[in-house]
Chain A
Amino acid sequence: MGLIPVHVITGYLGSGKTTLLNATLRGHLGHGSAVVVNEFGDVGLDGTILQAAAEEIVELASGCLCCTMRTDLRETLMCLLRRDPHRTPLRRVLVETSGTSDPLPILQTLRGDFALRTRFRPGAVICTVDAWLPAIDARSSRESLAQISTADAYAITKQDLAGARAARALARRLGTINPLAPRIPARARGLTEFIEAHEAHGGYLPNHVTEAMAPSVRNATHALHSVVVRGPAPHSWPRFALWLTRLLHLHGERVLRTKGILYDRTQATWLAVNGVRRLLHPPTHLSLEAPPPWGTSIVFITEGLDPGLIVASYRREFGEASAHGSAPDAPASDIPGTMHEPSGRLTTTRPATQHAGRASRVH
């Protein structure tokens, strides 16, 4: 049996998590789905609201999931596996966090606990953001920024109250905080399609990532920066692994997200790396129909850390890297479909059209 994806629905207080999830569960996504709801407070209402929609609702009402519920989350997920065998097989778990939760510890629990790691895998993190009362202005909390920067996608809710102009402005701001996350429609269909695509592609959507790699450097408010490191693929994977893990171990609090695609010369395949602060997911092998136009690229979203230091460090370790310009700057020899003619001249079979890809997960 494959690993069961655990998706996380996060978002600040009152941003519409339960409303969106409830609408989504009424569709076919509810079939085979279990929902774990975290309430902050003594009276759990969200579980009641969701009660009729999913296969199973489990309510954790003892506080903030990220701080106190690791053991409970583990026990809850293991209990879900032991449920009545005559019921629909468990296909996915959806965890709705409390509005003040940082989703990272949930992912860490899934990856760090052996019993969970061999039965579940981290799925998508979807963040709802309220367009009417956005929590990312001057009074924004660290929790809200953590939710947005950890997200794989975000949905802007309450556009009917805020208006389309406010929603567009908010989308621009979210793009500067987390350019890796695509915006999905705040409707049941949008969430369903994203979750199903995430599951089908093994938890990796290369087109979204490579589209986000188009900009070179972005400076934003909140002391957040993002940078795309482009350059030759590392010549040594152990050396790259030590470089990346050291970077995240020493500076993980300031490197909010890491996402990249790299070319493996020895096996002629593309690899994806994905990290949230100090948590680094196992690499994923990609089956791309065409190579990404930017070649080897790694995106870092940092807070309070000059991203130029990361570019300089990569350059010292692995050769000339670039964080500037929009033209492809990876050596052609990094790109599959590129070959040496007998004359020694480089040619490329890379099509001019936009890439598309599907991914397979490596366990």
Chain B
Amino acid sequence: MCGLCGSLGQGPTWEDEPWSDDPSARWRLRRDAQETAAELTRLLAASRVRVDANPDFGFVVTLPTGGVEIVSGIAGVWHALDALRIAIPDPLQG
């Protein structure tokens, strides 16, 4: 389990017994999710969107209106922003 797994991977599920007995893996997962959420919040600051991590189910996206969306991963954040017509910063545009 590395930082990229924590950010991109699906993480452990309730069927993955080894993970449930490995507190260090869970701790890393929590830390990676929080770092990812902090990066998302920084990236989306101009849109006044805040993202918080919950390693049990993914991310909580708080919108400028106060509304909340719960998503299961980074891809879910992008889809939620698309659905709400909130611009996603394009990495190809400097």
Contact = CB atoms under 8 A, between A and B. Distances in A.
Interface stretch (A76-84, A94-102, A172-180, A231-239): A231-239
Interface in A228-286: 236-247, 249-251, 262, 264, 266-267, 269, 271, 273, 280, 282-283, 285
Given A238-B36, A241-B36, A250-B90, A118 B15 contact: yes
Nearest to A275: B8
Given A271-B2, A282-B10, 5 more contacts: A241-B74, A250-B90, A280-B8, A309-B92, A362-B1
Contact of A283 (B2, B75, B90): B2
Interface in B39-94: 39-40, 43, 74-75, 78-79, 88-92, 94
Contacts of A240: 4, 7
Nearest to A271: B4
Nearest to B38: A238
A283 B4 CA distance: 7
B13 interface: yes
Interface in A201-250: 236-247, 249-250
B9 A362 contact: yes
Contact of A282 (B5, B36, B39, B78): B5
A266 B2 CA distance: 8
A118 B32 CA distance: 22
Contacts of B79: 249
B22 interface: no
Given A250-B90, A312-B94, A283 B39 contact: no
B91 A243 contact: yes
A117 B10 contact: yes
A317 B91 contact: yes
A118 B7 contact: no
A112 B36 CA distance: 21
A184 interface: no
A249 B75 contact: yes
Given A238-B35, A246-B78, A282 B90 contact: no
Interface string A332-363: 00000000000000000000000000000011
A241 B90 contact: no
Nearest to A247: B91
B16 interface: yes
A171 interface: no
Nearest to A272: B4
B92 A237 contact: no
Contacts of A249: 75, 78-79, 88
A238 B3 contact: yes
Given A310-B92, A316-B94, A269 B13 contact: no
Contact of A245 (B6, B74, B90): B74
7 contacts: A238-B32, A245-B8, A266-B2, A283-B5, A283-B9, A285-B2, A317-B91
A242 B74 contact: yes
Contact of B88 (A236, A250, A262): A250
A313 interface: yes
B73 to A, nearest CB: 9
Contacts of A273: 4, 8
Counting from the closest, the 3 A-B pairs by CB-CB distance are A237-B3, A241-B7, A238-B36
Nearest to A118: B15
B34 to A, nearest CB: 9
Contacts of B39: 236, 238-239, 242
Contact of B36 (A242, A246, A271, A285): A242
A67 to B, nearest CB: 21
